[in-house]
Amino acid sequence: MVNENQARRLVVLGTGGTIAGRATQPNDNVGYVAGQVAVSDLVAMVPALATCALDIEQVAQINSKDMVLGVWQALVRRVASHLDRREVAGIVITHGTDTIEETAFLLQTLLKPSKPVVLTCAMRPATALVPDGPQNLSDAVAVALHPQACGVVVVCAGRIHGALDVSKVHPYRTDPFDSGDTGALGCVEEGQLRMFRPWPPGVSQGTHDDAGLQRLLGASSLPRVELVFSHAGVDGELVRALLEQSSSKAGPLRGIVVAGTGNGTVHEDLLVALKEAQVRGVDVVVASRCAQGRVVPHAGQPLPDSAGLSPVKARLALALQLLEA
């Protein structure tokens, strides 16, 4: 008799991160080196996965704080390729926590998959006395095998987060993510899913947006979009310096995302410089630096808002938008 999970093939892609980290002492959860353990070895640490039909591939081996376009391109290419395989039910990606929310947003925005693409991670290295990676990986596989699962999600500490909502909100605890006002999509309890709300909306019936995919894969760099913060005592000199910078390997300044205070409010001195940037053809978007909620649009708002995206996701969204121009 064939196990139900054996009849559904999954792909596990490794990119490094703390989940693949190694420390010299088992009680050291901060002084480790990320991206040291092969994804095949991570899978081997989870005996329950031995009954699953898995294809395992190492796409990258980095600390996710050092994420670059080249790694994103390699990952997007492999995810799109595996989504096109009819026998593949879903994809699991091991990733570092620092930029997992950005990678998840990129994958959801570009691929809009009707199959599940599940990113998972860890806050303790693989060599820890009690590593959290094996349970997170096991939970991620359970999510990817769920027959109703779709879209890009992040699974960590038993919780399932949507790609558009998830943010890292804590630097140390093993449950470092939050989905703000929307809350998590659901949770994993002993391998079983309990859903709180629907899977990510708007996923296509196909596997990806080919035009957007090709634009990203063909880019030598993303359009340069910088992130600045509004705060007490800020002036506009940083923005003016960016405008006057004559050379950069990232190319000319194309966009600025400002993390505003409260409901996207911006210090008057900074706002003057941002408007100067707009006059010079630079796209400016305002998000909120608040951890919860979103910018509520109003008639007197001086800058376009980020449509609910966090500052880091708004920066990436604007870069992708400019890539189309």
109 is an active site residue = no
Torsion of CA 179, 180, 183, 189, to 10 degrees: 40
- For the purposes of burial, counting CB atoms within 10 Å of the CB of 141, is it exposed (0-12), middle (13-18) or buried (19 or more)? buried
User: What secondary structure letter does DSSP report for 198?
Assistant: P
Strands of the chain (E only): list them. Answer: 9-16, 54-62, 88-94, 116-120, 151-156, 159-162, 167-168, 177-178, 186-189, 192-195, 224-229, 253-260, 283-288
Contact 24, 70 (CB under 8 A): no
Question: Considering 15, 18, 94, 120, which one is annotated as catalytic?
Answer: 18
What's the token pair of residue 149? 């699962």
Task: Judge contact between 11 and 106, C-beta under 8 A.
Answer: no
Cβ-count burial of 58 within 10 angstroms (0-12 exposed, 13-18 middle, 19+ buried)?
middle
Specify which residues 132 forms β-bridges with.
none
CA 242 to chain centre: 26
Q: Is the dihedral of CA 86, 88, 90, 95 positive or negative?
A: negative
- What span, in angstroms and rounded, lies between the C-alpha atoms of 119 and 316? 18
118: closest CA among 148, 140, 87? 140
Among all residues, which ones are annotated catalytic?
18
